Structure 1
Amino acid sequence: MKKILGWLHLWLGILSGMVVLIVALTGSLLVFEEELEHTFHSSFFYVAAPGNIPRLPLDQLVTIVKAQYDGYKTANLKIEPESDRSVIFLLQKSKTNQLYVAVNPYTGHIIEALPASKRFFTIVLHLHRYLCMGAVGKVITGISCSIFAFLILSGLILWWPKRNNRKQRFRVKWNASFKRLNWDLHAVFGFYIHLVLLVISLTGLVWSYQWVNGLLFYTFNGTFKVEKVTAPSSIAQQGSGYFEKVFRATNETLPYKGPVTITYGNDSLAIAAFKDNIAAETANTYDFLYFEAGTGRLLKTRLHKDESAGMKARRLVYPIHTGSIYGWPTKIIALISTLVAASLPVTGVFIYLGRKKKKPVAVRKKRVLA
Structure 2
Amino acid sequence: MKRLIGWLHLWLGLASGLVVIVVALSGSLLVFEDELEHLFEPSLFSVQAPAGAERMSLDALAATIRDTYPKNKLNNIEIQPAANSTVTFYLKKGKAKGDLLMVVMDPYTGKIIYSGEQQKRFFVVVKNLHRYLCMGETGKMITGISCSIFTLLIISGLILWWPKKNARKQRMKVKWNASFKRLNWDLHAVFGFYIHVVIFITAITGLIWSYKWVNNLLFYAFDGKPQSKVEAPVSKAEKINDVAWLDKIFAATNQRLTYNGIVNIRFPEKKDQAITVGKENTDRITTHIVDVLYFQPGSGTFVGDKLFANDTRGTQARRLVYPIHTGGLFGWPTKILAFICALVAASLPVTGFLIWWGKKHKKPIVKKQTRQKSVVA
| TM-score normalized with structure 1 length | 0.95
Verify the 8 A CA contact 1:237 1:294 in the aligned structure 2.
Answer: yes
State the alpha-carbon separation in 2 of the partners of residues 327 and 70 from structure 1.
Answer: 41
Letter in 2 for 1:213: N
State the alpha-carbon separation in 2 of the partners of residues 204 and 37 from structure 1.
Answer: 23
Shift of 1:96: 5.3
Report what 2:374 is aligned to.
none
Q: Deviations over 1:202-228 (max 9, x none)?
A: 00001100000100000000012x134
Verify the 8 A CA contact 2:268 2:276 in the aligned structure 1.
Answer: no
Q: Deviations over 1:290-338 (max 9, x none)?
A: 0001111001011111000000000000110111111111100000000
Verify the 8 A CA contact 1:261 1:273 in the aligned structure 2.
Answer: yes
Report what 1:256 is aligned to.
259
Report what 2:343 is aligned to.
339
Letter in 2 for 1:92: K
Verify the 8 A CA contact 1:73 1:92 in the aligned structure 2.
Answer: yes
Shift of 1:90: 1.1
Verify the 8 A CA contact 1:86 1:105 in the aligned structure 2.
Answer: yes
Shift of 1:361: 4.6
Structure 1 residue 304 corresponds to structure 2 residue 305: no
Structure 1 residue 193 corresponds to structure 2 residue 195: yes
Paired residues for 1:133-172 under 5 Å: 133-172=135-174
Verify the 8 A CA contact 2:268 2:274 in the aligned structure 1.
Answer: no
Shift of 1:50: 2.2
Letter in 1 for 2:133: L
Letter in 2 for 1:235: K
Higher mean C-alpha deviation, range 229-238 or range 134-143: 229-238
Verify the 8 A CA contact 2:76 2:91 in the aligned structure 1.
Answer: yes
> Please, which of 105, 108, 125 is the counterpart of residue 107 of structure 2?
105
> Please, which of 112, 128, 131 is the counterpart of residue 129 of structure 1?
131
Report what 2:8 is aligned to.
8
State the alpha-carbon separation in 1 of the partners of residues 64 and 134 from structure 2.
Answer: 34
Residues 144 and 362 (structure 1), Cα distance of their counterparts in 2 relative to 1, 3 Å cut: farther
Q: Deviations over 1:66-104 (max 9, x none)?
A: 111121111111111101210011111232531111100
State the alpha-carbon separation in 1 of the partners of residues 247 and 366 from structure 2.
Answer: 78
State the alpha-carbon separation in 1 of the partners of residues 22 and 286 from structure 2.
Answer: 28
Shift of 1:229: 3.7
Higher mean C-alpha deviation, range 232-241 or range 54-63: 232-241
State the alpha-carbon separation in 1 of the partners of residues 9 and 192 from structure 2.
Answer: 13
Residues 229 and 328 (structure 1), Cα distance of their counterparts in 2 relative to 1, 3 Å cut: farther
Letter in 2 for 1:269: Q
SS in 2 for 1:78: strand
> Please, which of 204, 211, 214 is the counterpart of residue 212 of structure 1?
214
Verify the 8 A CA contact 2:102 2:116 in the aligned structure 1.
Answer: yes
Verify the 8 A CA contact 1:74 1:265 in the aligned structure 2.
Answer: no
SS in 1 for 2:222: helix
Report what 1:118 is aligned to.
120
Letter in 1 for 2:238: Q
Percent identity reads: 55
Report what 1:92 is aligned to.
92
Q: Deviations over 1:333-361 (max 9, x none)?
A: 00000000000000001000111122755
SS in 2 for 1:321: helix
Shift of 1:280: 2.9
Letter in 2 for 1:71: K
Query: Hey, which of these two has a bigger chunk of helix by percent?
Result: 1
State the alpha-carbon separation in 2 of the partners of residues 317 and 359 from structure 1.
Answer: 48
Report what 1:368 is aligned to.
none
Q: Deviations over 1:271-298 (max 9, x none)?
A: 1111111223532211111000111100
Shift of 1:239: 2.2
Q: Which has the larger radius of gyration?
A: 2
Name the count of aligned residue pairs.
364
Residues 9 and 247 (structure 1), Cα distance of their counterparts in 2 relative to 1, 3 Å cut: same
State the alpha-carbon separation in 2 of the partners of residues 287 and 355 from structure 1.
Answer: 55
State the alpha-carbon separation in 1 of the partners of residues 141 and 179 from structure 2.
Answer: 40
SS in 2 for 1:91: strand
Structure 1 residue 282 corresponds to structure 2 residue 286: yes
Report what 1:247 is aligned to.
250
Verify the 8 A CA contact 1:227 1:311 in the aligned structure 2.
Answer: no
Shift of 1:162: 0.6
SS in 2 for 1:82: coil
Shift of 1:362: 8.2
Letter in 1 for 2:287: A
Shift of 1:51: 3.3
State the alpha-carbon separation in 1 of the partners of residues 98 and 291 from structure 2.
Answer: 28
Which runs of 5 or more residues in structure 2 are unaligned?
Answer: 370-377
State the alpha-carbon separation in 1 of the partners of residues 229 and 89 from structure 2.
Answer: 23
